[in-house]
Amino acid sequence: MNKKVTYALPLLLLSSIAQAQESSQAGFYGFVTAGPTTFNYSTGVSVETNGYQLGLGYEFNESTAVEVSYGSLFNFGISNASSSETSELTLGTFSGVFRIPGEKLTPYVKGGVAALNSSYQHSTYGTYEASSSTWIYGAGVELNLDKRTAVRLEYVTTIKQTGYTDGNVVQIGIMSRF
C-alpha cells in the first residue's frame, strides 16, 4: 500500500501542476504592433510618425505578466543636392502587465521602464546622439481570437523628464502564445 501511495502522489502532483498551468495560461508569448507615434521634445518640436514594436512576454497566470520589447518609433531620411539628414528614435521597454481576463475581450494596464535612444545625422552639422531612461505606463485591450492568438490595441505614454522627450504611442498588432 505504501509503495502505491509513493508512486501515485508524485504523478497526482505533476498532473495537478500541468492542469493549473494550462488553465492559468502560464507561459511565453510574442507580439508585433505598429501605429502612430507622437514625441514632444523639450525644444518645443513635436514629431508625428509611425513606428513598430516587437516583444516577448511571460504570463505567470491569466492576470499577470511581464514584457520586454524593442521598437523603432520613427526612422526617416531627407536628402537633396546640397545636404542630407537622417533621424531615428528607438525604444526598449521592460514592463509589468495586469489583465482583467475575459472570454473575448481582455483589458489590461501596464507600467515599467524604457530606454530611449535618439540619433540625428546631418551632412553639414554633424551627428547628435542621446540616450535616456524614463517610466512608461499605458492601457490596452486584447481581442482573443482563440486560446493562443489575440489582436492587441494599446496606448502607452512616457513620463517627460527635463531636457528630454515625452511620447504617446498608439499601436495595433497581433499576439501569439507558445
pTM of the prediction?
0.74
| pLDDT for the residue numbered 164 | 55
Q: Mean pLDDT over residues 102-112, rounded?
A: 94
| Radius of gyration over every alpha carbon of the chain, rounded to an integer in angstroms | 22
| The pLDDT of residue 134 is above 50 | yes
Residue 13 lies in a domain: no
CATH of the domain at 147: 2.40.160.20
Q: Report the number of distinct structural domains present in the chain.
A: 1
Which of the two residues, 96 and 102, has the higher pLDDT score? 96
Q: How far apart are CA 84 and CA 73, in angstroms?
A: 21
Which of the two residues, 9 and 133, has the higher pLDDT score? 133
Residue 8 lies in a domain: no
Binning the chain into helix, strand and coil, the percentages to the nearest 5 are 15, 70, 20
| pLDDT for the residue numbered 51 | 86
Average of per-residue pLDDT values in the chain: 80
pLDDT tens digits for 15-40? 444 444 444 568 999 999 999 888 77
